[in-house]
Amino acid sequence: MKVSVQVPATIANLGCGFDCFGLALPLYNEVSLEETIMPGSGVEINILDASSNNIPTDKNNIVYRAIELLYNYVGQAPTELKITIRTGIPIARGMGSSASVITGGLIAANELLGKPADLDVLLSIANEIEGHPDNITPAFVGGVTLASIEETGSVTYRQLPWPKDWKVTVCVPDFELATDISRSVLPEMVSMKDAIFNLRRASEFVHAIHTKDEELMQLAMQDRLHQPYRMKLVPGLNSIMENLKHTEGVLGCVLAGAGPSIAVISNGKNVNEIKEIVHTSWNNINIDSKIHTYSVETSGARITKGIRQF
Protein backbone atom coordinates (compact mmCIF):
# COMPACT_ATOMS: atom_id res chain seq x y z
CA MET A 1 0.00 0.00 0.00
CA LYS A 2 1.22 3.50 -0.85
CA VAL A 3 0.03 6.56 1.07
CA SER A 4 0.60 10.13 -0.13
CA VAL A 5 -0.03 13.18 2.05
CA GLN A 6 -0.14 16.82 0.95
CA VAL A 7 0.81 19.37 3.61
CA PRO A 8 0.61 23.18 3.45
CA ALA A 9 3.37 25.68 4.12
CA THR A 10 3.19 27.51 7.41
CA ILE A 11 4.41 30.79 8.84
CA ALA A 12 5.14 30.91 12.55
CA ASN A 13 5.42 33.62 15.20
CA LEU A 14 3.56 36.36 13.27
CA GLY A 15 5.49 38.99 15.16
CA CYS A 16 4.22 38.96 18.72
CA GLY A 17 3.43 35.24 19.03
CA PHE A 18 6.94 33.79 19.28
CA ASP A 19 6.70 29.97 19.25
CA CYS A 20 2.91 30.25 19.72
CA PHE A 21 1.10 31.60 16.63
CA GLY A 22 1.14 30.11 13.15
CA LEU A 23 -0.85 30.09 9.93
CA ALA A 24 -1.10 27.84 6.89
CA LEU A 25 -0.58 28.92 3.28
CA PRO A 26 -1.57 27.30 -0.05
CA LEU A 27 1.91 26.02 -0.95
CA TYR A 28 2.53 22.33 -0.42
CA ASN A 29 4.99 19.54 0.14
CA GLU A 30 3.97 15.96 -0.48
CA VAL A 31 5.23 12.91 1.37
CA SER A 32 4.60 9.41 0.02
CA LEU A 33 5.28 6.28 2.03
CA GLU A 34 5.10 2.63 1.06
CA GLU A 35 6.26 -0.64 2.51
CA THR A 36 8.51 -2.38 0.01
CA ILE A 37 7.99 -6.06 -0.69
CA MET A 38 11.66 -7.01 -0.95
CA PRO A 39 12.95 -8.31 2.43
CA GLY A 40 16.20 -6.68 3.46
CA SER A 41 15.81 -3.73 1.10
CA GLY A 42 15.99 -1.31 4.01
CA VAL A 43 14.90 2.31 3.92
CA GLU A 44 14.99 4.28 0.66
CA ILE A 45 14.48 8.06 0.73
CA ASN A 46 14.01 10.08 -2.45
CA ILE A 47 13.87 13.90 -2.56
CA LEU A 48 12.19 15.39 -5.62
CA ASP A 49 12.43 19.05 -6.71
CA ALA A 50 14.48 20.05 -3.66
CA SER A 51 16.21 23.41 -3.84
CA SER A 52 18.82 22.39 -1.28
CA ASN A 53 21.45 19.66 -1.55
CA ASN A 54 21.85 19.33 2.20
CA ILE A 55 18.81 17.15 2.92
CA PRO A 56 19.86 13.74 4.34
CA THR A 57 18.65 10.67 2.46
CA ASP A 58 19.49 8.23 5.22
CA LYS A 59 18.07 7.54 8.66
CA ASN A 60 19.10 11.03 9.78
CA ASN A 61 16.31 12.45 7.64
CA ILE A 62 13.72 14.16 9.86
CA VAL A 63 10.85 12.38 8.10
CA TYR A 64 12.35 8.99 8.85
CA ARG A 65 13.07 10.01 12.45
CA ALA A 66 9.42 11.02 12.93
CA ILE A 67 8.18 7.81 11.33
CA GLU A 68 10.51 5.75 13.54
CA LEU A 69 9.08 7.39 16.67
CA LEU A 70 5.54 6.51 15.58
CA TYR A 71 6.52 2.91 14.83
CA ASN A 72 8.17 2.71 18.24
CA TYR A 73 4.98 4.09 19.81
CA VAL A 74 3.11 1.01 18.56
CA GLY A 75 5.95 -1.35 19.49
CA GLN A 76 7.37 -1.82 16.01
CA ALA A 77 10.42 -0.76 14.04
CA PRO A 78 10.34 0.50 10.45
CA THR A 79 12.20 -1.93 8.22
CA GLU A 80 11.50 -1.93 4.49
CA LEU A 81 10.17 1.51 3.61
CA LYS A 82 10.29 3.80 0.61
CA ILE A 83 9.87 7.49 1.43
CA THR A 84 9.39 10.02 -1.35
CA ILE A 85 9.38 13.74 -0.56
CA ARG A 86 8.24 16.16 -3.24
CA THR A 87 9.02 19.75 -2.26
CA GLY A 88 6.96 22.75 -3.28
CA ILE A 89 7.78 24.89 -0.25
CA PRO A 90 11.01 26.92 -0.27
CA ILE A 91 13.61 25.39 2.03
CA ALA A 92 15.24 27.38 4.87
CA ARG A 93 13.09 30.42 4.15
CA GLY A 94 10.86 30.46 7.26
CA MET A 95 7.86 28.80 5.62
CA GLY A 96 7.65 25.57 7.58
CA SER A 97 9.24 23.21 5.05
CA SER A 98 10.55 20.87 7.77
CA ALA A 99 7.28 20.95 9.72
CA SER A 100 5.34 20.04 6.58
CA VAL A 101 7.37 16.93 5.77
CA ILE A 102 7.39 15.77 9.39
CA THR A 103 3.61 16.12 9.40
CA GLY A 104 3.23 14.32 6.09
CA GLY A 105 5.47 11.46 7.14
CA LEU A 106 3.60 10.91 10.41
CA ILE A 107 0.15 10.95 8.81
CA ALA A 108 1.28 8.55 6.07
CA ALA A 109 2.89 6.18 8.56
CA ASN A 110 -0.16 6.29 10.83
CA GLU A 111 -2.30 5.33 7.85
CA LEU A 112 -0.04 2.40 6.94
CA LEU A 113 -0.14 1.18 10.53
CA GLY A 114 -3.94 1.24 10.67
CA LYS A 115 -4.37 4.59 12.45
CA PRO A 116 -3.18 3.63 15.96
CA ALA A 117 -2.43 7.26 16.90
CA ASP A 118 -4.89 10.12 17.27
CA LEU A 119 -4.12 13.76 16.45
CA ASP A 120 -2.88 14.49 19.97
CA VAL A 121 -0.25 11.75 19.71
CA LEU A 122 0.82 12.82 16.22
CA LEU A 123 1.20 16.44 17.32
CA SER A 124 3.28 15.38 20.30
CA ILE A 125 5.61 13.23 18.18
CA ALA A 126 5.91 15.94 15.54
CA ASN A 127 6.81 18.48 18.19
CA GLU A 128 9.48 16.16 19.59
CA ILE A 129 11.23 16.36 16.21
CA GLU A 130 10.44 19.98 15.30
CA GLY A 131 10.97 21.44 18.76
CA HIS A 132 8.03 23.87 18.91
CA PRO A 133 4.38 23.69 17.87
CA ASP A 134 3.80 26.95 15.98
CA ASN A 135 4.58 25.49 12.55
CA ILE A 136 3.49 21.92 13.26
CA THR A 137 -0.05 22.73 14.36
CA PRO A 138 -1.30 24.69 11.32
CA ALA A 139 0.40 22.11 9.09
CA PHE A 140 -1.86 19.46 10.61
CA VAL A 141 -5.11 21.40 10.95
CA GLY A 142 -4.83 24.46 8.69
CA GLY A 143 -5.93 28.03 9.32
CA VAL A 144 -4.46 30.23 12.04
CA THR A 145 -3.58 28.55 15.31
CA LEU A 146 -2.46 29.31 18.84
CA ALA A 147 -0.45 26.40 20.23
CA SER A 148 1.54 25.58 23.34
CA ILE A 149 3.53 22.69 24.79
CA GLU A 150 2.43 21.38 28.17
CA GLU A 151 4.71 19.85 30.80
CA THR A 152 3.47 16.41 29.76
CA GLY A 153 4.76 16.98 26.22
CA SER A 154 1.27 17.27 24.76
CA VAL A 155 0.26 20.10 22.46
CA THR A 156 -2.69 22.31 23.34
CA TYR A 157 -4.05 24.36 20.44
CA ARG A 158 -7.01 26.38 19.25
CA GLN A 159 -7.86 27.60 15.74
CA LEU A 160 -8.48 31.31 15.44
CA PRO A 161 -11.05 32.90 13.07
CA TRP A 162 -8.86 34.71 10.54
CA PRO A 163 -10.84 37.33 8.54
CA LYS A 164 -11.29 36.12 4.95
CA ASP A 165 -10.42 39.51 3.46
CA TRP A 166 -7.03 39.67 5.19
CA LYS A 167 -4.21 38.57 2.90
CA VAL A 168 -0.64 37.41 3.43
CA THR A 169 2.00 38.71 1.02
CA VAL A 170 5.02 36.44 1.30
CA CYS A 171 8.34 37.92 0.19
CA VAL A 172 11.02 35.26 -0.32
CA PRO A 173 14.63 36.43 -0.82
CA ASP A 174 17.18 34.47 -2.82
CA PHE A 175 19.18 33.32 0.21
CA GLU A 176 18.66 30.74 2.93
CA LEU A 177 18.71 31.19 6.70
CA ALA A 178 18.91 28.08 8.86
CA THR A 179 16.65 28.09 11.91
CA ASP A 180 19.50 27.17 14.27
CA ILE A 181 21.47 30.22 13.12
CA SER A 182 18.44 32.45 13.52
CA ARG A 183 17.86 31.12 17.04
CA SER A 184 21.51 31.49 18.00
CA VAL A 185 21.25 35.30 18.06
CA LEU A 186 18.39 35.33 20.57
CA PRO A 187 19.18 36.23 24.19
CA GLU A 188 18.74 33.67 26.95
CA MET A 189 16.84 36.24 29.02
CA VAL A 190 14.71 39.28 28.20
CA SER A 191 13.62 42.21 30.30
CA MET A 192 10.33 42.24 32.18
CA LYS A 193 9.39 45.31 30.13
CA ASP A 194 9.80 43.46 26.83
CA ALA A 195 8.00 40.36 28.12
CA ILE A 196 5.02 42.48 29.14
CA PHE A 197 5.11 44.29 25.81
CA ASN A 198 4.73 41.01 23.90
CA LEU A 199 2.09 39.69 26.28
CA ARG A 200 0.06 42.81 25.58
CA ARG A 201 0.55 42.53 21.82
CA ALA A 202 -0.34 38.83 21.73
CA SER A 203 -3.57 39.55 23.59
CA GLU A 204 -4.37 42.32 21.12
CA PHE A 205 -3.65 39.96 18.23
CA VAL A 206 -6.24 37.42 19.36
CA HIS A 207 -8.86 40.11 19.95
CA ALA A 208 -8.11 41.88 16.65
CA ILE A 209 -8.72 38.82 14.50
CA HIS A 210 -11.89 37.93 16.39
CA THR A 211 -13.27 41.43 15.87
CA LYS A 212 -11.60 42.23 12.51
CA ASP A 213 -10.12 45.31 14.13
CA GLU A 214 -7.55 46.61 11.65
CA GLU A 215 -6.33 49.45 13.84
CA LEU A 216 -5.67 47.10 16.75
CA MET A 217 -3.97 44.59 14.45
CA GLN A 218 -1.45 47.22 13.39
CA LEU A 219 -0.37 47.46 17.03
CA ALA A 220 -0.63 43.75 17.73
CA MET A 221 2.00 42.52 15.27
CA GLN A 222 4.83 44.41 16.97
CA ASP A 223 7.48 42.35 18.75
CA ARG A 224 10.42 42.73 21.12
CA LEU A 225 11.34 39.09 21.81
CA HIS A 226 12.92 37.89 18.58
CA GLN A 227 12.69 40.22 15.58
CA PRO A 228 14.97 43.01 16.93
CA TYR A 229 17.77 40.45 17.37
CA ARG A 230 17.26 38.84 13.95
CA MET A 231 17.26 42.12 12.00
CA LYS A 232 20.97 41.85 11.23
CA LEU A 233 20.47 38.44 9.61
CA VAL A 234 18.04 39.77 7.01
CA PRO A 235 19.50 42.69 5.04
CA GLY A 236 16.95 45.38 4.25
CA LEU A 237 14.36 44.16 6.76
CA ASN A 238 14.39 47.31 8.86
CA SER A 239 13.95 49.63 5.86
CA ILE A 240 11.17 47.44 4.44
CA MET A 241 9.29 47.59 7.72
CA GLU A 242 9.72 51.35 7.88
CA ASN A 243 8.61 51.81 4.26
CA LEU A 244 5.48 49.72 4.83
CA LYS A 245 4.55 51.28 8.17
CA HIS A 246 2.40 54.01 6.65
CA THR A 247 1.21 52.16 3.53
CA GLU A 248 -2.56 52.01 3.28
CA GLY A 249 -3.98 48.57 3.93
CA VAL A 250 -0.89 47.17 5.69
CA LEU A 251 -1.74 45.63 9.06
CA GLY A 252 1.72 44.37 9.88
CA CYS A 253 5.09 43.33 8.48
CA VAL A 254 6.91 40.49 10.21
CA LEU A 255 9.57 37.88 9.73
CA ALA A 256 8.15 34.64 8.39
CA GLY A 257 9.10 32.23 11.13
CA ALA A 258 12.82 32.50 11.72
CA GLY A 259 13.28 34.25 8.37
CA PRO A 260 14.64 35.28 5.99
CA SER A 261 11.26 35.57 4.24
CA ILE A 262 8.95 38.42 5.19
CA ALA A 263 5.18 38.23 5.63
CA VAL A 264 3.09 41.34 5.11
CA ILE A 265 -0.44 41.13 6.48
CA SER A 266 -2.91 43.41 4.75
CA ASN A 267 -6.63 43.97 4.32
CA GLY A 268 -6.26 43.02 0.65
CA LYS A 269 -5.86 46.59 -0.59
CA ASN A 270 -2.73 48.01 -2.21
CA VAL A 271 -1.22 44.55 -2.70
CA ASN A 272 0.70 45.69 -5.79
CA GLU A 273 2.15 48.66 -3.91
CA ILE A 274 3.23 46.35 -1.09
CA LYS A 275 5.01 44.07 -3.55
CA GLU A 276 6.73 47.00 -5.24
CA ILE A 277 7.99 48.45 -1.95
CA VAL A 278 9.55 45.15 -0.89
CA HIS A 279 10.93 44.35 -4.34
CA THR A 280 12.52 47.80 -4.70
CA SER A 281 13.99 47.79 -1.18
CA TRP A 282 15.71 44.47 -1.76
CA ASN A 283 16.65 45.21 -5.35
CA ASN A 284 18.48 48.33 -4.17
CA ILE A 285 20.85 46.10 -2.18
CA ASN A 286 21.11 43.45 -4.92
CA ILE A 287 18.77 40.88 -3.39
CA ASP A 288 16.42 39.10 -5.79
CA SER A 289 13.08 37.94 -4.46
CA LYS A 290 9.85 36.18 -5.28
CA ILE A 291 6.71 37.84 -3.92
CA HIS A 292 3.21 36.37 -3.90
CA THR A 293 -0.02 37.19 -2.09
CA TYR A 294 -2.15 34.42 -0.59
CA SER A 295 -5.28 33.81 1.40
CA VAL A 296 -4.80 31.69 4.50
CA GLU A 297 -5.14 27.97 3.75
CA THR A 298 -8.04 26.77 5.89
CA SER A 299 -7.35 23.06 5.35
CA GLY A 300 -4.42 21.25 6.89
CA ALA A 301 -2.67 18.09 5.76
CA ARG A 302 -4.73 15.69 3.70
CA ILE A 303 -4.25 12.20 2.34
CA THR A 304 -4.29 12.25 -1.45
CA LYS A 305 -3.66 8.57 -2.11
CA GLY A 306 -4.10 5.33 -0.22
CA ILE A 307 -6.84 6.09 2.27
CA ARG A 308 -7.34 2.97 4.35
CA GLN A 309 -10.91 1.70 4.50
CA PHE A 310 -12.28 0.03 7.64
- What is the tens place of the pLDDT at every residue in 290-307? 999 999 999 999 999 765
Asked if 7 and 153 sit in the same domain, the reply is yes
- Please give the average per-residue pLDDT across 129-146, as a whole number: 96
Backbone dihedral angles phi then psi of residue 137, each to the nearest 5 degrees: -65, -50
Asked if 274 and 149 sit in the same domain, the reply is no
Asked if 42 and 134 sit in the same domain, the reply is yes
The per-residue pLDDT for 246 is 86
In 3D, which of 84, 103, 96, 90 has the Cα closest to residue 52?
A: 90
Asked if 154 and 255 sit in the same domain, the reply is no
Asked if 149 and 247 sit in the same domain, the reply is no
Backbone dihedral angles phi then psi of residue 159, each to the nearest 5 degrees: -85, 140
In 3D, which of 50, 20, 273, 35 has the Cα closest to residue 132?
A: 20
Any domain includes 310? no
Domain that holds residue 175: 167-294
The 3-state DSSP class for residue 144 equals strand
The domain that holds 19 is classified in CATH as 3.30.230.10
Asked if 132 and 210 sit in the same domain, the reply is no
The per-residue pLDDT for 67 is 94
The per-residue pLDDT for 305 is 77
Pairing of the two strands 81-86 and 43-48: parallel
Model confidence over 63-113: pLDDT tens digits?
Answer: 999 999 999 999 988 878 899 999 999 999 999 999 999 999 999 999 999
Model confidence over 166-205: pLDDT tens digits?
Answer: 999 999 999 999 889 999 999 999 999 999 999 999 999 9
Asked if 107 and 180 sit in the same domain, the reply is no
Measured CA to CA, the distance from residue 114 to residue 110 in angstroms comes to 6
Any domain includes 31? yes
Q: What is the count of structural domains for the chain?
A: 2
Peptide bond between residue 161 and the one before it cis (omega within 30 degrees of 0): no
Asked if 6 and 105 sit in the same domain, the reply is yes
Asked if 22 and 156 sit in the same domain, the reply is yes
Any domain includes 87? yes
In 3D, which of 30, 34, 64 has the Cα closest to residue 48?
A: 30
The per-residue pLDDT for 51 is 64
The per-residue pLDDT for 36 is 79
Asked if 88 and 62 sit in the same domain, the reply is yes
The domain that holds 289 is classified in CATH as 3.30.70.890
Cα–Cα separations (whole angstroms), residue 117 to 6, 8, 22, 64, 237? 19, 21, 23, 17, 42
Say if CB 44 and CB 36 are below 8 A apart. Answer: yes
Any domain includes 104? yes
Instruction: Band the pLDDT of 13: cuts 50, 70, 90.
Output: very high
- Please give the average per-residue pLDDT across 213-229, as a whole number: 96
Share of the chain above pLDDT 70, in %: 95
Instruction: Band the pLDDT of 309: cuts 50, 70, 90.
Output: very low
Any domain includes 102? yes
The per-residue pLDDT for 131 is 87
Asked if 198 and 156 sit in the same domain, the reply is no
Asked if 189 and 67 sit in the same domain, the reply is no
Average pLDDT, the chain: 92
The 3-state DSSP class for residue 165 equals coil
